[in-house]
Amino acid sequence: MTDTAVHTAILPYHGSYLMPSLEHAKVSDAMHPGILSCPADATLTEVARMMVTHHVHCLAVMNIARDESGESLVWGIISDLDLMRAGTRGEGEPRAAALAAQPIISVKPSMPLRDAAELMLSREVTHLIVVEPASERPIGILSPLDVAGALAWGES
């Protein structure tokens, strides 16, 4: 009997757009626009399903905080590692608010990409929330893979 295994070639990815080199790139050149969020009371299972369904490695958790000064939007971020940690330790069905890392680390789209990468390294985080400068509202996510894109495909 002969071995008839079918081998499929993995085609190399050549980038979908030209981007500046890491030395010249801004966060806006590499970030993923848009942000996927979940409510603070979402369960671990619901968070996992959202991540898998949308093929994302993190979710923002949105919550309204009320104090004597009124209401404010409070948010955190759940990474795939946070999800895995909670899921494998068998600590019940925690809610998104309990899983979310706070405070989140945010950056402006105009920040140099190299500085954002250094911030990830120094703060030991895998995702930065990109915020609109005037409103501070989240407009995108920056991950290490986005930085890798600048290293791989960036042109001077």
Q: For each of the chain's 156 residues, which pLDDT tens digit applies?
A: 444 445 445 444 444 456 788 888 999 999 989 888 899 899 999 999 999 999 999 998 877 665 566 555 657 899 988 899 888 887 678 899 888 876 788 999 999 999 999 999 999 988 999 998 988 888 999 999 999 988 887 775
Alpha helices in the chain (DSSP H): 27-30, 44-54, 80-88, 96-99, 113-123, 144-153
- Side-chain half-sphere exposure of 16, counting CA atoms within 13 A: 3
- Side-chain half-sphere exposure of 52, counting CA atoms within 13 A: 8
- 14: Cβ–Cβ under 8 A, 6 or more apart, which residues? 153
Provide the 3-class DSSP secondary structure of residue 70.
strand
